[in-house]
Amino acid sequence: MPLKTVICIGMAGSGKTTFMQRLNSHLHAAKSPPYVVQLDPAVLNVPYGANIDIRDSVKYKKVMENYNLGPNGAIVTSLNLFSTKIDQVIKLVENKRDKYEHCIIDTPGQIECFVWSASGAIITESFASTFPTVIAYIVDTPRNSSPTTFMSNMLYACSILYKTKLPMVVVFNKTDVCKADFAREWMTDFEAFQDALRQDQELNGETGMGSGYMGSLVNSMSLMLEEFYSQLDMVGVSSYTGEGFDEFLTAVDKKVDEYESYYKAERERILKQKEEEEKTKKQKSLEHLMKDLGLKDEQNAENAKQEEADVLSDFEEGENDGIVLRDEDEGVEREYTFAEGDRMSGEVNGKSTPDLQKRYEEAFQKVAKSASSETAENIARYIRQ
């Protein structure tokens, strides 16, 4: 059984953390405890045990002080620092794939800091390329009872779906306050949504479907999103009562099958295409260099091969550098991806990791020296010719 990864994404206040807590307890009650990853560096208290917590690797307040950043900038920078160790995170999760059936990931409440940042894309891509991954988009049901607000949330869900290119389950949370039947009807019956939109306009003093820019836009968007709705699974849950979580896990299993059948093959095709494009780009650059300097094929290929071998990545940390494993805390095995110095300072620099900094400097000097000598030799050869 492959390890299923569920990445929980949603607007601030939609109930992601409470949803994570209930999902965690629900899986524990089913004798299938999940592997939990917490990626919100600014949260004060987490109501569930986390196997990997970003706050143990990066100190949010220290990042704000060291880089003179505001709250959102510090969240993005913390995620950037954490994403430099994502390969170690993946290895930690891979080592537990025989013990756990689910890996659930909590993301920052500032949704744009994760979804639209480079680090968020790196983290999502890393998990999706290793494990069957599903996006759980959490929606605040009571606040989406208005057709225009509902449409705004669906457009955001649509953008996330096409940004991540992963299967998605739309989770209408807080059904103990407001049932999600209206949302299911709006997603499956266009006329029902039109009627609701008309009633909302009349309630606000507008008459007719065409009156007002917003009404016309929302009406057009509902037609456009019909195909989008057909690709989604929608469930209603209550993180307070636990209602609907069995249905949610069933939807996740369905999306995992969809991932294996469609998304995995598509991702492999995209990666292969990128690899071929990069290979073609390198070949063209090599040909231009040969033409400019008048080098022979064999000599130029040998130089290119040597340059390719002496990049800084060859001098990076070893396979297990920076991993600190600790004893169980409150019944949860905690695993860390940063060295002790990194967790205290909140940044990666020459003071916190002197050995790494020294290796980078030595590698840079070596590459610069080699490049300058080869350039001088090539220019002299060109002049002679």
pLDDT digits (tens, 9 = 90+) for 191-206: 888 888 888 877 766 5
Helix axes 147-164, 213-224, angle to 10 degrees: 40
Residues 61-81: pLDDT tens digits? 999 999 999 999 999 999 999
**pLDDT surpasses 60 at 118:** yes
Question: What is the domain count for the chain?
Answer: 1
342 domain-assigned: no
**Residue the block writes with tokens 């009650």:** 29
Of 173, 151, 304, the C-alpha closest to 219 is: 151
Amino acid at 258: E
Share of the chain above pLDDT 70, in %: 73
Q: Residue 30 — pLDDT band, cuts 50, 70, 90?
A: very high
In-domain check, residue 159:
yes
Q: Residues near 86 by Cβ (< 8 Å), separated by ≥ 6?
A: 122, 123, 126
> CA-to-CA distance for 340 and 346, rounded, in angstroms?
10
Which region among 52-66, 324-338, 363-377 has the lowest average model confidence (pLDDT)?
324-338
For residue 121, give every residue at least 6 positions away whose Cβ sits within 8 Å of its Cβ, in sequence order, or none: 163
pLDDT in tens, 261-281: 888 777 778 878 888 888 888
Q: Residue 365 CA to chain centroid, in angstroms?
A: 35
pLDDT at 360 over 60: no
Confidence of residue 313 (pLDDT cuts 50, 70, 90): very low
Tell which wins on pLDDT, 373 or 188. 188
Q: What are phi and psi of 208, to 5 degrees?
A: 85, 145
Torsion sign over Cα 200, 203, 207, 213: negative
- Position 290 scores a pLDDT of 76
Mean pLDDT of 311-322: 46
Predicted pLDDT at 187: 87
| Residue ranges with strand state E in 21-152 | 35-38, 52-53, 102-106, 133-140
Angle at 42 between CA 68 and CA 128, to 5 degrees: 110
pLDDT at 350: 46
pLDDT of residue 111 exceeding 80: yes
Question: Parallel, antiparallel, or unpaired for β 324-329 and 332-336?
Answer: antiparallel
Within a domain: residue 310?
A: no
As a three-state string, the secondary structure of 162-226 is HHHCCCEEEEEECCCCCCCHHHHHHHHCHHHHHHHHHHHHHHCCCCCCCCCHHHHHHHHHHHHCH
Segment 298-306 shows an average pLDDT of: 54
Residue 265 domain-assigned? no
Among 60, 229, 236, which residue's Cα sits nearest to residue 151?
229
Query: Does the residue 380 lie in any domain?
Result: no
pLDDT band, very low/low/confident/very high, at 89 (cuts 50, 70, 90): very high
Whether 235 maps to a domain, the answer reads yes
pLDDT of residue 383: 46
More confident residue, 105 or 215: 105
Distance CA 116, CA 97 (A): 28
Dist CA 190 CA 180 (whole Å): 16
Q: Is the CA virtual torsion 69, 119, 21, 182 positive or negative? A: positive
Q: Distance between CA atoms of 61 and 221, rounded to whole angstroms?
A: 41
- Amino acid occupying residue 190: F
CATH classification at residue 240 = 3.40.50.300
Residue 370 in any domain: the answer is no
Q: Which residue, among 19, 70, 85, has the nearest Cα to 48 in the 3D structure?
A: 19
d(Cα 31, Cα 51) in Å, to the nearest integer? 17
Q: In this structure, is residue 9 part of a structural domain? A: yes
| Domain limits for position 107 | 4-206+215-254
Residues 133-186 have pLDDT tens digits of 999 999 999 998 888 889 889 889 989 988 888 999 999 999 999 999 999 898
**pTM of the full structure:** 0.70
Longest C-alpha distance within the chain, in Å?
A: 85
